[in-house]
Structures are given as structure tokens and as C-alpha cells.
Structure 1
């Protein structure tokens, strides 16, 4: 093997762990871009873009920077063994690790906040569920504050984390590696807890949703996909112990933490976007299906239900309401009136006024009024990109 220039800034070629970090991070970024773009298009096109969508875009933006730092760190030696690194790469790989870590912490907190806000929008009438989601939000940001501030305070100045010369010369003071390990385990435990909560909490919503079994199974699959984020966190946990041996191939071992953490963030972005993309697909399928329906079917649909916006009932002559709801939690009211007649003869007859009541009594006396039915139903429906919740 040719001697390595002490000032060589990058690996001559990516291989092993370094190549895995670079490739997986780029692939995760591409997939996340596709899913987040489709989610954004679904929300914008339906005019339901909200705070959770803004947070998801913010988390995605931070994730792009996260991927950039991870790739630069891989080029500088993250994932490679000490024998393949120059002194400059040893220092730079640690520097990119700290920068990546701070960015990852911020991005993950924003992504989880987006998922929590989405759950709040879905279950805005369930007090116990809202309390649980707010507790999850508080845990997420408490973990962020602890880890972010803890990393900044490990060495003062922060450059002491990667420049050992500053520590040896007394220009920087650093905490022991035990502090770094304790901070890493605390952050990992909190991350696993919040990841699992983001995957499990929606399961309680599915139980109370008025939807077909097939839809519930599909939602269950989506929740299982979201739980992969916590699995990624568990996989990286054993590598934390290598902080105790900073001179024994630390960039090689810690590279696994970067790899699996980026996978976790990508899963969060994708899993958080899939429900909106599914709604976009379903809406387009319904549009195509209704576009091919017969006039008779459309007329029948219009006679069954009329919808008024912003919580007010509407009687628009049997025509379907075509307004736009500005917020996914806007509600409307619908009324369905069902009438029938006796023995399959006669026309539909409204029985709510005095003249119709007179005719009803007359028919009853003549023995022709049997089978008259009057059924008036008034109920509220929630028009949003989600199933209707049914209270226990």
C-alpha cells in the first residue's frame, strides 16, 4: 500500500463503510424527495396545506443538509479504518461527525413534530389522544434540547471535539468520554421511545375509524413501516460503546451510527408522507370513476345527499355542494330525506305540511295509504382527507 500523504483530505476511493454511508444517504435523499414532493402536491392541490406540511418540508430541508454532511464525512474517512486515514482525515472525519450530529438532531425533531401535528389534526375531538400527542411532542423537544446542548458543551471550544492538539495544549477543555456515552444512550432511548409512539399511537385511531377491514389492514401496514425507524435506532445502539476507544478505529465504528441514523430520518419522511399520497391516489381514482358514471347514477347521487359548507346546512335544490374547505377540520352538515309510497303506486310525497297531512288522512280512510314512510335524517359529516372517527 502506498504511503498516505499526512495532508490528504479525502479517501482515494470510497469502499466498505464509507461507500455504504455515501450511497445509502443519497438513495434515502432521493426517495425522500419523491415522497415529500408528492405529499406537498397532494396538500396544495386539495388546498389543505397546513402546519404539519410546513414542518415536514422544514425537516426535509434539514435532512438534505444532513445528507450533505454525512457524504462529506464519508469522503473524509467516516466508515474507514485508521490505517486508511491521514492525520487530516482523522481530524476532519470527527469534525463532520459533530456537524452531522447537530443537524440530524434538529431534523429528526422537526420531522416527528410534523407527524404529531398530523395526528392532532386527525383526532382533534379525542382529549386523551391529544394529551398523549402533546406529551410526545414535549418528550421530543426535551430530548432535542438535552442532546443538542450536551453536544455543544462536550468540549469548549467545540473544536476540541475533533482537534486533539487544542486539548493537549490546554486551549480546549473536554468532558470525559463517559459523558459522551451517557448522552448518546439517553438520546437513543428517547429516540426509540418517540419512534415507537409515533407508530403505535395511530393504531388507537384505527380502532375507532369507520372504515372497511381492507383499509384498516392497509393502515396497519403503513404503521408497521413507520416502526422501522425505531428498528434502525436499535441497530445503531451497540456502536455507541466504541466512543470509549477513540484511538481504535473510531471513524469506522461510528460510521454505522451515521448510516442507520440517516436511514431513520428517511423512513420518518417517507412514512409521514405516505398517508397524504394515498389520499391523492384514492381521490384521482374516484375522479376517474365518477367521470365514467352514467347520468342516471349522478342524478341519483344528487338526490340522496346535499352538503352545506362551514357547518351550515344547505338546501341547494338537490345539487352537490362544490365549494372548497380551507382547512381539513372544516365541517359541513348533510340531510337525507327518504320517502316511499304504498304498493308501488303513486309519486314521492312530502308529508311535512298541512295539505300533505290532509291527503294522508284521506288515503288512510280509503285504505290506500298503507306503506307510507317518512324518514328525515340530520347528521354532521367531517370533510377532510381522512376517515370519519366514531366515538366509543
Structure 2
């Protein structure tokens, strides 16, 4: 509930950029997420990582809504251009909006990163790789819980954060330390989730171009870490006595970019089936009037004999349990999918 005398701040400069970036990335993120959801529902393949990504998407969308509210309450504007100044109700409402935005940011990232790790677990066979991914999942939720608790007890009473009641708060150096810890963990885990799939895929028996394409799709999360690095200098905003909300606008902007890119990157592997479906509907150049499925079947039978040795040469042995995430006995399997990335887009339990 806003205080008496609250006014909407006039947006321009950084405050306007916060609003435009948030709306733009929210639209892109929503488009990619609903494409992923549509593919999963069409093939009846909703899995645990889809539910985690759905939770992360909803929480991130709420975070984006609070980021827009931040802009309308002076975040990104100097104190002199905020209605009522630094001691006015609009400024206090901006502090409250930042408080709520932080809570949803930290919580959403835990769900998003866990979804990405579960996706990679479908192609991770070696024990240390699986242990590493489960460790990242546990660490993501642990960090989120600890930091959320810190934000809730940062000031006593809690209304002291947005200047509604007198009280005390932890020093600003604690906020800066928390920012660097969060950013450091995000950067390390982002790059692990980028490098590990490339390491796994590069050992599979498939064309080099396909390896590069799949590595890019599964490693797109590294772009989120770039936004995290750019955001780090904005932590100095906590030491600003004047124009605090203006300096905080940079942090809000790059954080929105970071989390929305993470959602988009986490949804890309599922969209691979959409691209394959579009390609399969195109007529063959050699036989424009032929049935593509029939041509694929003939091609598969003619190449099966000669490719058995090649397939065994570089492809790791894959369990044939029908309930295994690495199974290869499935309808419409092609040679290029055997022992490769089929488990990323097909249902199956994840082995701990």
C-alpha cells in the first residue's frame, strides 16, 4: 500500500531504459517459454525440468513486474527528479519495490538453474558429472534461501528498509558482500553448465557441425554470466548517499537481462524438436514429390549396414532399459540420434 502523497515519477533516461528492457525481454522470454510448453504438451512429454522452468518463469515474471514498478517509483532517476525528493513517499515506495524485486530474483534463479541442470543430466553418464550437476542444484537453492533470509532480517523492523519506521540495519558492506557472493556463484555455475555439455557432446559420434550446433544450444546460458559480470560494478550503489536509486537502476537492468536470458537458454534444447519438425516437412530437392518419411526409411536401411562400425567406434555404450533416459529403442529414431542427444527431448527418469 502506497503512502499518502505518492506520485508517479516521470520516466526518462535510465528509468525509461529499465522499463523498455524489462518489457522487451519479458516478451521474448514468454514467447520462447510458451513454445517450449506447447511442444511438450503436443508430444505429452512434460518432465520435471519443465515444471521447474515453469516455476522459474512465473517467479521471474513477477520479478519483472516489480522492476517496472521500480521504474515508476524513481529507480534510475536522481533524487532531485523524484516527486517529493529523497524523503518523499515515491522514494520510499521505490525502496519497497527494490526489496520485493530482490526476493523474487533470488528465488527464480534457483528454479531456472535447477531446470537447466536436469536437462544436462539427461546426457550426463559419468558419475562425477552427475554429482557435479546435483551439487549445483542443491547449492542454487541453498544460496537462494540464505540470501532471502538475509534480506528479510536486513533491517529491524523490516519497514525500516523503506523508511516507514525508525530502526537499525546491517552496514552497506554486507549488501555488497552478498552481491559479490551471488554473482560469483552464478558465474561459476553458468560456465559449468556451459562447458560440461560441450565436453559430453564432443565425444559422441555425430557430424562436427551438429556438435557445434548442439553445443551452442546447450551452452547458451553463458550469455547470462556476461550480464552478471557487467552488473558487478553497480554494487557500489549501496555506498551512495545521494542518487542511490539512480545508481541502482543499472543493477536492476542487467539483472533483468541475466535472468531472462537464463530462461531463454534453458528452453532452447526443447525447441530443437520444433526445428526438426519444420525441416522434416520440407520436400526433398532430389525427389520433390516423394514422401520424406519413406525416403528417410530407405536411407536408414541402406546406411545401417555400413555405419554399424562407425557408430560403435566413438559412441559410448547405452543401456537398453526402456525406462532409461539413455534408451535408443524409440519410434522414429534416426541414426544421428542413437546414443546422442535424444534423451534431452524425450521423457525418461533421471538417475541420481
TM-score range (shorter-chain normalised) is 0.7 to 0.9
Distance 1:218 1:188, change over 3 A: same
Distance 1:279 1:209, change over 3 A: farther
Distance 1:83 1:211, change over 3 A: same
Correspondence list, 1:200-349, <5 A: 200-222=195-217, 225-245=220-240, 247-288=241-282, 292-293=290-291, 297=295, 300=298, 311=320, 329-332=326-329
Correspondence list, 1:124-273, <5 A: 125-163=125-163, 166-167=165-166, 172-222=167-217, 225-245=220-240, 247-273=241-267
User: Are the counterparts in 2 of residues 156 and 174 from structure 1 also a CA contact under 8 Å?
Assistant: yes
Q: Secondary structure at the match of 1:41?
A: helix
Counterpart CA distance in 1 for 2:114 and 2:47 is 13
Normalised TM-score (structure 1):
0.73
Structure 1 residue 44: Cα displacement = 2.1
Structure 1 residue 331: Cα displacement = 4.3
Q: Name the counterpart of 1:26.
A: 23
Distance 1:153 1:278, change over 3 A: same
Counterpart CA distance in 2 for 1:30 and 1:327 is 36
Q: Name the counterpart of 2:114.
A: 113
User: Are the counterparts in 1 of residues 29 and 260 from structure 2 also a CA contact under 8 Å?
Assistant: yes
Q: Secondary structure at the match of 2:177?
A: helix
Q: Name the counterpart of 1:10.
A: 8
Counterpart CA distance in 2 for 1:288 and 1:328 is 30
Distance 1:102 1:55, change over 3 A: same
Q: Secondary structure at the match of 2:5?
A: coil
Distance 1:19 1:296, change over 3 A: closer
What are the ranges of 5 or more consecutive residues in structure 2 without an aligned counterpart? Answer: 305-318, 332-337, 346-352
- Point out the structure with max Rg over C-alpha: 1
Aligned-residue Cα RMSD (Å) equals 2.9
Between the two proteins, the alignment pairs up a number of residues equal to 314
Normalised TM-score (structure 2):
0.80
Counterpart CA distance in 2 for 1:301 and 1:30 is 41
Counterpart CA distance in 1 for 2:142 and 2:185 is 9
**1:323-376 deviation digits (Å, cap 9, x = unpaired):** xx8985554289xxxxxxxxxxxxxxxxxxxxxxxxxxxxxxxxxxxxxxxxxx
User: Are the counterparts in 2 of residues 332 and 382 from structure 1 also a CA contact under 8 Å?
Assistant: no
Q: Secondary structure at the match of 2:210?
A: helix
Counterpart CA distance in 1 for 2:182 and 2:25 is 22
Larger RCO: Structure 1 or Structure 2 (Cα < 8 Å, ≥ 6 residues apart)? 2
Counterpart CA distance in 2 for 1:27 and 1:20 is 10
Between structures 1 and 2, the one with greater strand share: 1
Distance 1:130 1:156, change over 3 A: same
